[in-house]
Amino acid sequence: AKDLVEFRNLKTHFQTSAGTVKAVDDVSFKIREGETLCVVGESGCGKSVTAMSLMRLIDVPPVGGEILFEGKDLLKMSKRDMSLIRGNDIAMIFQEPMTSLNPVLTIGEQIVEPIMLHQLVNRKEAKQRAIELINLVGIPRAEKIFDSYPHELSGGMRQRIMIAIALSCNPKLLIADEPTTALDVTIQAQILDLMRDIKEKFNTAIMLITHDLGVVAEMADYVVVMYAGKVIEEAPVIELFQRPKHPYTKGLLKAKPVINQKQERLYSIPGQVPNPVDLGDNCHFHDRCEFCMQICKEKEPPLGTDPNGHKVACWLYEEEGKVE
Ligand code: SF4
Ligand code: MG
């Protein structure tokens, strides 16, 4: 498939009183048409900032790099062109749909408005389309829901509505930031099913941000693992699950609960994500890594590619790192 999005050496940094926070630091990866790409990592790794940079929803613009969408750099686009892209080609859904829905407007109003705005149709046609969308996302009695207010719906229904709003513009890319984290397990599975159906039906590319390896296993075609503002590993999903390379990824996979198996206690990676203000030019995982060598504390490992296209940034996989 063709490349839809390409992050090229993206750097999104924030100045704080404590120093510079390199939330996203020299990140490069691609999303292909119709592909589900999962960005995985613990919270604070830069996943959401990467997505928000793409949407240009951050007050401070990235300090470096490019974000190409169909070959055009979104970071260089005028505000007006960018808002057209946001309404037509790229849509986003968030973790807590209640905060993105307007509590004083009916569900119908909130779907009709973007349709009228972006598809230049009249209210009647827009309503027709809105009802179709509510049906499409698997909500029965769409006419009744159309006249309801957000607080009258369950969390799962609200997330379906957010997906309906996102789909109203037939996006080429749907960004979903922890879309099921706030939902209980059964509802979570239904929402993931819905997203998979949408991808199949409309060939929509999905950039799915999650900390949950179970979600990754179910949804991803391709996986990008982030740690402390960097991409530390990336590969097609089967390759990544069968042959994880980075000690951090291996830790995440160990931490994944096994379905139908009662476990005493979940494994979790010891230690914490480092303070983002004082990151050195070293491996940011070094103080949590059981394989840490001298070079890891002194030099940042580059993101290297093996013959299968599996990428990893770790000195264990570099000739240089093996020399004491
Ligand atoms: Fe561990 Fe070194 Fe690899 Fe970092 S570079 S993950 S510290 S072995
Ligand atoms: Mg986040």
- Tens digit of pLDDT at every position of the chain (324 positions): 899 999 999 999 999 998 999 999 999 999 999 999 999 998 889 999 999 999 999 888 899 999 999 999 999 999 999 989 987 899 999 877 667 789 999 999 999 998 998 878 899 999 999 999 999 999 999 999 999 999 999 989 999 999 999 998 889 999 999 998 888 888 889 999 999 999 999 999 999 999 999 999 999 999 999 999 999 999 999 999 999 999 999 999 987 655 555 544 556 788 888 888 878 899 999 999 999 999 999 999 999 999 889 999 999 998 643 333
Please identify, by atom number, the ligand 1 atom nearest to the C-alpha of residue 289.
Answer: 1
What is the CATH T-level fold of the domain 3-89+169-322, as seen in this structure? Rossmann fold (3.40.50)
Which ligand gives the minimal distance to the CA of 318? Answer: 1
Each domain of the chain, given as residue ranges in start order, spans 3-89+169-322, 100-168
Which ligand gives the minimal distance to the CA of 175? Answer: 2
Buried b (16+ CB within 10 A) or exposed e, 273-309: bbebeebeebbbbbebbeebbebbeebbbebeeeeee
The ipTM of this complex is 0.95
Q: CB atoms < 10 A from the CB of 107, how many?
A: 27
Residues 6+ apart with CB under 8 A from 145: 107, 108, 134, 139, 153, 157, 161
Compute the distance from residue 48 Cα to the ligand 2 centre, in Å.
4
Tell me the pTM. 0.91
Q: What is the C-alpha separation between 196 and 187, in angstroms, rounded?
A: 14
Please identify, by atom number, the ligand 1 atom nearest to the C-alpha of residue 248.
Answer: 6
**Ligand 1 pocket check for 293: Cβ under 6 Å:** yes
**Ligand 1 pocket check for 175: Cβ under 6 Å:** no
